Structure 1
């Protein structure tokens, strides 16, 4: 397993299938990390759609999306479930950020966050516009996550750095 990237490391490019709820339509597309260059990106890895803590986390990020976007960031949720599961989750909870499918856990492995039994550790990474890791929050057991205000503060630090 790869180690978790360190602050300042360049994050390796990846492409994952995903979808985003746009009105009543769930728009599916491939999401490519390098296509986000020039803009900060919040990568929120979560173990599973429609589980209690994951639902609370993704709903809080969806509710705080305007604050994160006003800080210049894009937010992607990433988990091992397929796109049909993501679509059902997004529709059921009104989630407005893209949900990406890492079914083989390839990207999670490259971030060093896979874990036995749960699949991956709940983790949030902020990647700056140059593709470097700015900040990370990786849990041991996955019951906590940073609130949108904490992410916005980290994004604000990017613009003042």
Structure 2
């Protein structure tokens, strides 16, 4: 019985990784997405193709210290990102109501998108195993829909802006 339980546990542990999609890498086409925005309506990656660079900043949870710091940093540099030809979006599993409260309490200037089911975050390998919270992970997608940078952890806005400057040119 003990051997059977160990085999079952090993299979359950290894099966998800065997079935997981190929990791996204720089140079890959970005998976399509459409998500509801705290500003009303929905936002789609496709709507920016040929127009702007897209910065997708996945973060774990509204109103938490690290996430507040990250979203406030993006908000402080919002005008710089816009001037560089980029659209920046914060994305978490939180509801639109939670996003609206978070924006008000922290004076955030960037749109927050809600991925409550985690489908987009899963496609972008941005979900923590077991707990299901989103990882702090940022993708930079060029005007053609190609991933040009991936940052795990807290992004450096100066470095992001330098990357955008290189790829945003027509």
TM-score, scaled to structure 1: 0.87
CA distance in 1 between partners of 2:33 and 2:97 (Å): 21
CA distance in 2 between partners of 1:110 and 1:118 (Å): 13
**Cα-to-partner distance string for 1:29-51 (whole Å, 9 max, x where unaligned):** 10111001121000000000010
Structure 2 contact 31–124 (Cα < 8 Å) conserved? no
Corresponding residue to 2:166 among 146, 157, 161: 157
Once the 2 structures are TM-superposed, how far is the Cα of residue 113 of structure 1 from its aligned partner?
Answer: 1.7
When residues 85 and 3 of structure 1 are mapped into structure 2, their CA distance, relative to the original with a 3 A threshold, is: farther
Q: Secondary structure of 1:16's match?
A: strand
Deviates more, 1:37-46 or 1:117-126: 117-126
CA RMSD of aligned residues (A): 1.5
Structure 1 contact 15–32 (Cα < 8 Å) conserved? yes
CA distance in 2 between partners of 1:2 and 1:108 (Å): 13
Q: Secondary structure of 1:119's match?
A: coil
CA distance in 2 between partners of 1:93 and 1:130 (Å): 33
Structure 1 contact 3–112 (Cα < 8 Å) conserved? no
Structure 1 partner of 2:44: 32
Structure 1 contact 46–79 (Cα < 8 Å) conserved? yes
Structure 1 contact 77–99 (Cα < 8 Å) conserved? yes
Q: Secondary structure of 2:143's match?
A: coil
CA distance in 2 between partners of 1:160 and 1:106 (Å): 31
Confirm or deny that 1:100 pairs with 2:113: yes
Name whichever structure is richer in helix by fraction: 2
Once the 2 structures are TM-superposed, how far is the Cα of residue 3 of structure 1 from its aligned partner?
Answer: 4.0
Larger Rg: 2
Structure 2 partner of 1:23: none
Corresponding residue to 1:65 among 78, 92, 103: 78
Shift >6 Å, 4+ stretches? none
Deviates more, 1:82-91 or 1:146-155: 146-155
TM-score, scaled to structure 2: 0.83
Name whichever structure is richer in strand by fraction: 1
CA distance in 1 between partners of 2:59 and 2:21 (Å): 18
Confirm or deny that 1:147 pairs with 2:147: no
Corresponding residue to 1:43 among 38, 53, 56: 56
